[in-house]
Structure 1
Amino acid sequence: MADLAALPKDWIVTSGQFTRKAYTTVYPAIDPTKAENSLKEKTVVVTGASQGLGARGIAPAFVKAGVKAIVLIARKADKLAAFEEELKKINPDVETLALSVDISSAYQVCTAWSEINTKYPKVDILVNNAGVETTDSDKTHEQDPDIFFRNFEVNVKGTHMMTHQYLKAAVSWATTAEPTKIINMASSSAWGVWPFLAAYSNSKLAMIQYNTIVAASYPGTVLSIAVNPGLNDTDILPSTLREAGFNFNDPMPTGATLVWLMADPARSQFLNGRVLTSEWDVEELAARKEEITSKNLLTMQLNATLGAEQFAN
C-alpha cells in the first residue's frame, strides 16, 4: 500500500472523482434552504445523531430544509438532549424526539420504533448513519473476531434492524408516487483495499450490497441510496488516516446532499440501489442518468465478463 503521508492532501477527493466537479463545501444545487430542496411537513429519523456527521452535518441540514419533525437516535442521552437545543436554534418550530438506543440491540430498536410509530405514524425518511470502526490490526491472524464483528453488529445488523422496523410500518403507505426513502451511509473503503480498515471496510461493503437488495425488493415503492461522505474529522477516524494529514471535508455538504436526494424522489430515482459520494456534483450525476442506469454503474459487481453468450462464436 502507498505511503499515505506522501500523497497530495486532496488525494481522497481527487482519486475518487466520478464527476468533473467535486465539492467539500455546500454549493448552490444542494443548498438545503432552496425551495426545490424543501422537506416541509416531512418527518426524518437519523441514527448516530449525537456527534460526528449526524450532529454536525446531517441533522442540521434536514432542519434547514424545513422538516416538520426529526427523530434523533444515539446511545448517549445527555448529548442528544443538548443537541436538541442546538437544532431548535436553527428552527424553533421543528419537532424533536430524542431516543437513547443501541442499534445493535434488537430489543432497543423495536422499543424505539414502537415509540416513534406512536408519535409519527408516517416517517418519510430514515437515515442509517450510526456506525463504528474497531479494526485492531492490519493482519488477519491478529484480528480478534469479537472486535472484528462488532463492525457488523452495528454497521450491518444495526442498519438492517432499523430498516426492518421502518419498512414494517412504511409498506402500508408507500407508493410509486410517494416511496419510502432510506439513506445508508457508506464508505469508499468498501471498494478500496486498506488492511488497517479491514473490519470496517468489509462491513460497509456488505451494507452497500444490502442497500441494493432493499431497493430491488420493493420496485418503485422504496428509494434506498448509499452515500459515502468522504473524509471527515470524526471520532471513528483511524489514526492512520488522521496522521496522513489529508484534508477533511466540511460535514455540511454531506447533509445537504442527503437533503437533495430525499427532497424529490423522481429527481433521484435513477440512483436507487446505488452508491455515490457526497463530493460529486449532483447536477453532473443527473446529466449522466442514462449512462448510469444503462451500464448499471455505481453498484458493487464482479469485475468479469459473465454469460454464455460470450462463447457463442
Structure 2
Amino acid sequence: MSTPSQLNAQHIRNFVPTLHTKPYPAIDPSRVKLPSPYVVCIIGGRGAAAGGIARAYVQAGASGLILAARTRFALEETANEVRSINPATKVVVAECDITSSASVESLTRTTKSEFDGHLDVVAVNAGYSGPMVADVLKELPSDFQTAFDVNTVGCFHAAHHFLPLLLASETGAKSFIGISSISAPMVAGWAAHAHYCASKAAQTRLIEMINEQYASKGIFCTSLHPGGLQSEFAHKVVSEEFWSAALIDSPDLVGAFCVWLTKPGARKEVLNGRFLSCKWDVSELEKKFDEISEKDLLRFRIAVA
C-alpha cells in the first residue's frame, strides 16, 4: 500500500496531464529574444542540467553567462559549446565552492565586475548525493553533512550574496532558481535516502522564505525539478536498471523551461516561491494558475486538520 508521502510525490509528478521529456514549441528558447544586457550565472556550471540551462539562455540571446564550479577546467567544455552556439555571448568561467560563503562572495564580485554590475538570473545547480540507501542506520554521517552543506547551506550562500546584485539590476529579470529534485517531498520508498531528500526539502523551504521576504521587492524565485537526467551525478547514485528506465529526459528541457519562466514580460508571478517541474506542459500549467493561487498549491506545509 502506498503511503501518503508516496502518493503526494506521485501527485506532484502528474500535476498536469502532459509530461514532456524534451523541449517543445511553447518553450523553444530559439524563439525568444532576450534584451541586452541579459546576464545569467549558473553555480554548479558543469553537468547535464547546467549544460541544458546554459545552451537555452545563449540560444535565447543572453548577452552574458558566468559558469562557476569548484574546478575551472571542468567548465571549459560547456563554455566552449555555448560559445559555438552564440559567439556574441560573453562567457566567463570562475572557480567557486558553494559550501564556502567567502567563495560565493568572491563569485559575486567577479560577476559584478565582468558584467558592469548587471545580473538577471542566478541558477543554483550545485548538488550532492551519496548512494541511495533508504535506511538512516546505513547512511553515512559524512554524506548527510555534505548534502546539507551543498544542497541547503550552499543555496543560502548564493541567495545571501547574489540577491543584492539581482535587486540592484533595475532592468533585470531578478530571478533566483534553485535546481531541486522530485525527491524533496519524499519520505518513503526505495529512493527516499534521508540525506538527499531532507536537504532538498530544506532547500525548497528556503526558496519559499526568500519569496516571502523579497517578492515585494521584485525577486522571482522557484525550486525546479530538472527531470530525470542521465548525468555524471546520477550515475554515481542510481542503479543501472533505474538509469535506463527512469532517466529519460533531455537536459535541454530544464533549460528551455528556465527561459520560459524568466523571459521579459512573461514572469508567472503566481509561481513565485513554488516547487515546479520542468516536465509539466506549460499551457496546461497556465490553466491551473487560478487553482494554484486559490489553494496555495506547490508549497511545503504541515497538515493539522
Normalised TM-score (structure 2):
0.88
Among residues 194, 200, 215, which one is paired with 1:219 in the alignment?
A: 215
Q: Tell whether the 8 Å contact from 1:32 to 1:38 is kept in structure 2 after alignment.
A: no
2:241 counterpart residue number: 243
Q: In structure 2, the residue corresponding to 1:190 is in which secondary structure?
A: coil
What's the % identity of the aligned pairs? 27
2-structure distance, mates of 1:126, 1:239: 26
| Residues 1:242 and 1:209: Cα distance change in structure 2 (over 3 Å) | farther
Listed one character per residue, the Cα deviations across residues 258-284 of structure 1 (whole Å, up to 9, x for unaligned) are 000010365411100001111101111
Q: Name the CA shift for 1:203/1:219 in 2 (closer, same or farther; >3 Å).
A: same
Q: Distance in 1 between matches of 2:139 and 2:46?
A: 29
Could you tell me which of 110, 113, 132 is aligned with 1:115? 110
Partner residue in 2 for 1:60 = 55
**Deviation larger for 194-203 or 93-102:** 194-203
| Aligned mate of 1:72, from 64, 67, 75 | 67
Instruction: State the secondary structure of the residue aligned to 1:140.
Output: coil
Name the count of aligned residue pairs: 292
What residue number does 1:7 align with? none
Task: Specify which of 5, 18, 21 is matched with residue 21 of structure 1.
Answer: 18
- 1:125/1:48 CA distance change after superposition, 3 Å: same
In the alignment, residue 139 of structure 1 is paired with which amino acid? D
* Letter of the 2:177 counterpart: I
Q: Letter of the aligned partner of 2:181 in structure 1?
A: S
Match of 1:30 in 2: 27
Post-superposition CA distance 1:91-147 (Å, at most 9, x none): 011101100111111221111211111222011110011111124743212322222
Offset of residue 60 of structure 1: 0.6
* Aligned partner letter, 1:284: E
**Higher alpha-carbon deviation: 200-209 or 131-140:** 131-140
> For the residues of structure 2 that align with 1:185 and 1:123, how far apart are their CA atoms?
18
Q: Is the 8 A contact 2:166 2:175 kept in 1?
A: no
CA contact (8 A) 2:42 2:124 kept: yes
Corresponding position of 1:282: 282
The structural deviation recorded for 1:13 is 8.9
Q: TM-score, normalised by structure 1?
A: 0.86
Asked whether the 8 Å contact 2:59–2:85 carries over to 1, the reply is yes
CA-atom RMSD, angstroms? 2.3
Of 187, 201, 206 in structure 1, the residue corresponding to residue 202 of structure 2 is 206
Instruction: Identify the residue that residue 5 of structure 2 maps to in structure 1.
Output: none
Larger Rg, first or second structure (1 or 2): 1
1:156 aligns with 2:152: yes
Q: Is the 8 A contact 1:128 1:159 kept in 2?
A: yes
Alignment correspondent of 2:230 = 233
| Partners of 1:274 and 1:283 in 2: CA distance | 17
The residue type paired with residue 101 of structure 2 is A
Q: Does 1:138 align with 2:134?
A: yes
Task: Quote the residue 1:90 is aligned against.
Answer: 85
Residue 39 of structure 1 contacts residue 62 of structure 1 at CA under 8 Å; is this kept in 2? Answer: no
Secondary structure, aligned partner of 1:141: coil
1:173 CA displacement:
4.4
Structure 1 gap ranges (5+)? 3-11, 306-313
Q: What is the CA distance between 1:154 and its match in structure 2?
A: 0.6
Indicate the residue corresponding to 2:6 in structure 1: none
Cα distance in 2 for residues equivalent to 1:222 and 1:135: 35
Distance 1:255 1:133, change over 3 A: same
Post-superposition CA distance 1:3-57 (Å, at most 9, x none)? xxxxxxxxx999811112111011111000113x6355300000111222112x1
Distance across 2 between alignment mates of 1:13 and 1:233:
21
SS at match of 1:127: strand
Structure 2 Cα separation of the partners of residues 105 and 159 of structure 1: 11
SS of the residue aligned with 1:206?
helix
